[in-house]
Homo-oligomer: A and B are copies of this chain.
Amino acid sequence: MIEPTVEDKRITLEEAVKKVHDGAHIAWGGFGYQRPPEAFAMELIRQKKRNLRIYTCGSEHDLDILTGAEVCLEYEVAFFAIEALGLAPNLRRRIKEGKVKFEDYSNLAMALRFLGGALNVPFMPIRHMIGSDMLEKTQLRKDKAKVIDCPFTGNPVVLLPSVQADFGVICAQKADMQGNVQLYGIKGEDNEIVRGSKTTIVCAEEIISNEEIRRAPDLTAIPGLYVDYVVEVPFGSWPMQVYGLYDYDLPHLQMYMQMCKTEEGWQEYMNEWILDVGNHKGLLKKIGAKRLKELRADPEFGY
């Protein structure tokens, strides 16, 4: 008896990236090899964005290309490397050049900072980080963390400043055009990022109908209320993986590690895989239908 009305929040990847102004602070979704906003990162490079600051728990190839292209040189993060393969090669070089600044937190600390942002409280308490150099050594913030005596127990408690970034960007398996999101497999810190950011962009592998969302409200990880823009981006996390849809492209990552040992190699990689392909569609064409099919997940296993 109530008429459903569905707002259409879909825009293209190019349009979405255009909204990000130079100097913007971005809460960055995905965790490790899982669902990182790779296509979004590549488009940020194509559009020559500058002076971004990225907040995330841990990310890998996506952050390393942003560092190589000098799109983002400020990070509030917990982890930055290419798991199992080695240190992040572009980061390594840019650090040597003195170009990158870090504010180091632990993974839980970053996740709680996003949770605090989502709750709209100025800080969150944590029992970790205390006793480590992370509390004292700082490069970006005057208010990295505060230690107070707990007014209930008298014991020291670390307070972390909440994060409410200008933009929150995540990748998801499915979303409807209103921004209702289904996430499958691990959620990392994406639920908190979307709830706490000022403008949120969801890159969805597949757009599904609002009907499908409403048939299974228990599967909605993120209600559309939090989402400003929805971008349909198949293989949007390549060369990393998306649970249930496709696996990581290990040979490509290994080639990346190899090429980026030198600045020249990185420039070559960037030209070949990011700039010359023109856009995400061009990239998929370059990877080739055959290879993409090989990467497709076995539905029984999810990879």
Contact = CB atoms under 8 A, between A and B. Distances in A.
Nearest to A159: B151
A157 interface: yes
Interface stretch (A17-25, A38-46, A120-128): A120-128
Contacts of A122: 125, 150, 152-153, 155, 157
B121 A157 contact: yes
Given A146-B152, A151-B159, A159-B152, A184 B125 contact: no
Nearest to A219: B218
A148 interface: yes
A256 B119 CA distance: 39
Contacts of A116: 125
Contacts of A127: 120-121
Interface residues of A, number: 28
Scoring A119, A127, A148, A218 by chain B CB atoms within 10 A of each residue's CB, the highest score goes to A218
21 contacts: A112-B119, A116-B125, A119-B125, A120-B127, A121-B125, A121-B126, A121-B127, A122-B125, A122-B150, A123-B125, A123-B151, A123-B157, A125-B125, A146-B151, A146-B152, A148-B148, A148-B151, A151-B159, A152-B161, A185-B217, A185-B218
Contacts of A112: 119
Contacts of A184: 218
Contacts of A218: 183-185, 219
A159 B153 CA distance: 12
A143 interface: yes
Given A184-B218, A218-B184, A218-B185, A123 B146 contact: no
Nearest to A146: B151
A121 B121 CA distance: 16
Contacts of A146: 151-152
Contacts of A120: 127
A24 to B, nearest CB: 21
A222 to B, nearest CB: 14
Contacts of A123: 125, 150-152, 157
A155 B121 CA distance: 11
Contacts of A121: 125-127, 157
Nearest to A243: B218
A112 B155 CA distance: 20
